[in-house]
Amino acid sequence: MSKTDVSRRGLLKTSAVAGAGLAVPTIFTAQSAAAFTNNPTGGTVTLGFNVPQTGPYADEGADELRAYQLAVEHLNGEGDGGMLNTFSSKALEGSGIMGKKVEYVTGDTQTKSDAARASAKSMIEKDGAIMITGGSSSGVAVAVQGLCQEAGVIFMAGLTHSNDTTGKDKKANGFRHFFNAYMSGAALAPVLKNLYGDDRKAYHLTADYTWGWTQEESIKAATEALGWETVNTVKTPLAATDFSSYIAPVLNSGADVLVLNHYGGNMVNSLTNAVQFGLREKEVNGKNFEIVVPLYSRLMAKGAGENVKGIHGSTNWHWSLQDEGSKAFVRSFGTKYGFPPSQAAHTCYVQTLLYADAVQRAGSFNPCAVAEALEDFEFDGMGNGKTLYRGEDHQCFKDVLVVRGKENPTSEFDLLEVVEVTPRAQVEYPADHPMFAGGQLGSCNPGA
């Protein structure tokens, strides 16, 4: 059997035309080799948005989906254009991608690697999606990235923070705009030093799975470089809901900083529990006890309520940023949906635009051409200052935000305030940094 997984859609159109002309069904055997998977030959191009629609991250997924819909509107020249107006590359003109109208299909990752791969496959095989994007956990991102590499389509990662996504598990067809655990550490460390001094004893609680470990490793390295001492690191089960038995030992450990390497429901609960145990009012070694949540998100902050006040952490982006790009995006998003976008929405929106722009510049939907256009592409006007898509590992390098839970929020969205914008230079690292070692990008796969 020959390898004939070629563009169905293309053949479909031609055969439909042929069938109409001959008025008898014509049987085509797909031998005419197209160059790559799902080459869009009609007037439209289909993107695949793979986000959690069910399960605990459904709300985050819903926000991602809103951003995607907005991005599609802007690409097709509807709405106010959003960041297209501020984007440094002017290749896109609001007439779709390379003149083709952008359409999309959605899938539900359920925040499970299996389900995410299944829905991505369905979008590729059934709906002819040329690019897959989205997701809100690193496990899913790595799994789907692997799939896209095999299938020969581009994967534009959504929210994924683990070092592995562009480290050990990086793939030639996968690109990440979101920042990572190393960058969180590098951005947070100087701020923490300014705020809390260089003589601190840190206690880590870490979600017991890959992302948690890479974050713990990164934060530990960054803070130890400041002179902090790591008193202890404890792994907590993913399924844990009550963290009291992990918080209690912190009280008498001699530590004066608690680092919570948790995300989602875990983070909401562990932070709530930590505050319950009076850690924030506690004094140890003559210093105020502090809690740090290295990866912050507004949706999580909302879940934790009052407890986030004064707690520091890092995010990829925040809607209160005052640069033109951010303002334009918040304006379009807020006008359409009535509330400001989350960082997940931002990264997804930007990823879609970046992909479209790369196609436009490359002049081809071929994944290899797109990848080439994205590699070492430097741009601005997307909300994080001057940004570089590094070719060696497909990671974006840009400014990282250090934020703090706001003491006096003026609205239900106004939960975090930006403490510092850590410049890109400070969070950069060589591609062969030991925390990212072990994987190979491989070569780009156009499929077919």
The one-character DSSP state at 288 is: E
- Considering beta carbons, is residue 241 or 426 the nearer one to other proteins? 241
| Of the residues 94, 265, 385, 391, which one makes contact with other proteins according to CB under 8 A | 265
* Least separation in angstroms between CB 67 and other proteins: 16
Q: In this chain, which stretch among 23-31, 90-98, 222-230, 377-385 interacts with other proteins, using CB under 8 A?
A: 23-31
Which residue carries 């985050």 as its tokens? Answer: 60
* SS3 of residue 16 by DSSP: helix
Binding track, positions 128-167, relative to other proteins; x by CB under 8 A: ---------xxx--xx--xx-xx-------------x---
- Considering beta carbons, is residue 50 or 316 the nearer one to other proteins? 50
71 touches other proteins (CB under 8 A): no
**Rounded Cα distance, 368 and 359, in Å:** 10
Residues numbered 269 to 288 that lie near other proteins (CB under 8 A) are 269, 272-273, 276-278, 281
**Rounded Cα distance, 412 and 431, in Å:** 40
Contact present, 163 and 218 (Cβ < 8 Å): yes
Which residue carries 């095999």 as its tokens? Answer: 150
* Least separation in angstroms between CB 340 and other proteins: 5
Tokens of 57: 């991250």
The one-character DSSP state at 280 is: G
Please give the size of the binding site for other proteins, defined by CB under 8 A: 106
101 touches other proteins (CB under 8 A): no
| Of the residues 76, 91, 190, 208, which one makes contact with other proteins according to CB under 8 A | 208
- Considering beta carbons, is residue 100 or 424 the nearer one to other proteins? 100
44 touches other proteins (CB under 8 A): no
111 alpha-carbon distance from chain centroid: 14
What are the backbone angles phi and psi of residue 403, rounded to the nearest 5°? -125, 165
Cross-strand partners of 107: 50
**Rounded Cα distance, 69 and 66, in Å:** 5
**Rounded Cα distance, 162 and 58, in Å:** 20
| Of the residues 81, 190, 334, 423, which one makes contact with other proteins according to CB under 8 A | 334
Contact present, 188 and 294 (Cβ < 8 Å): yes
* Least separation in angstroms between CB 109 and other proteins: 11
Residues numbered 362 to 421 that lie near other proteins (CB under 8 A) are 410-411, 413-414
Residues numbered 225 to 264 that lie near other proteins (CB under 8 A) are 232, 234-239, 241-242, 244-246, 248-249, 251-252
